[in-house]
Amino acid sequence: MKTLGQWLSEKSYRSTVVNLVMLTGVLAMSQSSELFMAVGGGAIAIASFYFLLRAIALTARTKRFVNPYQLSLTWIPGLLAIVLAMTGLYLVISAEPFSMGYCLGVILFACELAMLTIAGVDLDDSASKSSRIIEVV
């Protein structure tokens, strides 16, 4: 059976996702909407910047060889994760601590921030692994 350390080291993003989930838990237990907004907003901004940087680089490198469907597979998952993470953050800062809206916002925020992180890393991996582009006719 694998140890936790081996499992975390198999994929580069796993430890980051675990840290984001723990950060969300600490922020949720603090019951401070201002702190959640500042730290959570910063986390969304950093993950969004990384995703957008990778998506723009991949789009610029492959713009002659891709069709709209491939572009949508590059952009839509990350953009959707950004919007849903911001929606979760809004739910957290607008609801009373540990109310239904607060709990749903925390869960939505944590899940979508993790998905945004994975979306950025997937673009990085796909860009480095693709040595040549195959044009689909």
* Model pTM score: 0.83
15 within a domain of the structure (yes/no): no
* pLDDT confidence tier of residue 131, bands split at 50, 70 and 90: very low
How does pLDDT run across 18-36, given as a tens digit for each residue?
999 999 999 999 999 999 9
Q: Specify the 3-state DSSP secondary structure of 4.
A: helix
Q: Are 114 and 44 in contact (CB under 8 A)?
A: no
Tell whether 93 is covered by a domain.
Answer: yes
Asked if the structure places residue 36 within a domain, the reply is yes
Residue 86 placed within a domain: yes
State the total domains in the chain: 1
Residue type, 132: R
Q: In sequence order, what are the residues at sequence separation of 6 or more whose Cβ sits closer than 8 angstroms to the Cβ of residue 60?
A: none
Distance separating alpha carbons of residues 85 and 41, to the nearest angstrom: 9
